[in-house]
Amino acid sequence: MRSFREWIAANGISEVECLVPDMNGVIRGKVWPAQKFLQSVHNGSLRMPSSIFNVTVTGEYADEPSEAASYSDPDVSLHPDPASLCVAPGFKTPTAFVFADAHHKNGDPYEIAPRHVLKKVLAYYEAMSWEVVVAPELEFYLTKVNTDPDLPLEPPAGRSGRAETAPQPYGLEAVTEYEDLIEDIYEQAEAASLHLDTMIHEAGTAQLEINFNHGEPIHLCDQVLVFKRIVRQVALKHGVYATFMAKPMEHQPGSAMHLHISARDRLTGQNLFGEGPDGLSETFRHFVGGLQRYLPECAPLFAPNINSFRRMRPGHAAPINLQWGYDNRSCGLRVPITDLPNTRIENRTPGADANPYLALAASLVCGYIGVRDRIAPAPMVEGNAYLHLRTLPRNLDEALDRFTECPEVIELLGESFVRAFLLIKADELNAYQGVISSWERDHLLLKV
pLDDT in tens, 288-343: 999 999 999 999 999 999 999 999 988 777 999 999 999 999 999 999 999 999 99
Q: Write out pLDDT tens, residues 369-408.
A: 999 999 999 999 999 999 999 999 999 999 999 999 999 9
pLDDT band at residue 70 under the 50/70/90 scheme: low
Report residue 87 CA to chain centroid gap. 22
pLDDT higher than 90, residue 169: no
SS3 category, 21: strand
SS3 category, 322: coil
Residue 66 confidence (pLDDT): 62
| 104-118, 156-170, 381-395, 417-431, range with the lowest pLDDT | 156-170
Residue ranges of the domains in the chain? 4-110, 123-442
Beta strands in 144-221, from DSSP E residues, in sequence order: 196-201, 207-212
Q: What are phi and psi of 225, to 5 degrees?
A: -70, -40
Residue 86 confidence (pLDDT): 94
Q: By the 8 A CB rule, do 84 and 65 touch?
A: no
C-alpha count within 13 angstroms, C-beta hemisphere, residue 209: 23
Residues in the chain: 448
Q: By the 8 A CB rule, do 24 and 425 touch?
A: no
Residue 317 confidence (pLDDT): 79
Q: How far is CA 409 from CA 28, 115, 294, 397, 417, in A?
A: 27, 17, 8, 19, 11
pLDDT higher than 70, residue 410: yes
**Architecture label for domain 4-110:** Roll (3.10)
Q: How far is CA 416 from CA 419, 421, 422, in A?
A: 5, 9, 10
Beta strands in 202-244, from DSSP E residues, in sequence order: 207-212, 241-243
pLDDT higher than 90, residue 72: no
Specify the CATH class of 123-442 in words: alpha beta
Q: What is the mean pLDDT of the chain?
A: 95
Q: Write out pLDDT tens, residues 208-237.
A: 999 999 999 999 999 999 999 999 999 999
The percent of residues above 70 in pLDDT, for the chain, comes to 98
Residue 64 confidence (pLDDT): 73
> What's the CA gap between 25 and 27, in Å, rounded?
6
Q: By the 8 A CB rule, do 20 and 37 touch?
A: no
Report the candidate in 154, 181, 179 with the shortest Cα–Cα distance to residue 238. Answer: 181
The percent of residues above 90 in pLDDT, for the chain, comes to 92
Mean pLDDT of 163-177: 89
Rg of the chain over Cα atoms, rounded to whole angstroms, equals: 22
pLDDT band at residue 65 under the 50/70/90 scheme: low
| 94-98, 261-265, 438-442, range with the lowest pLDDT | 438-442
Mean pLDDT of 88-117: 96
Q: Write out pLDDT tens, residues 235-244.
A: 999 999 999 9
Q: What are phi and psi of 99, to 5 degrees?
A: -80, 145
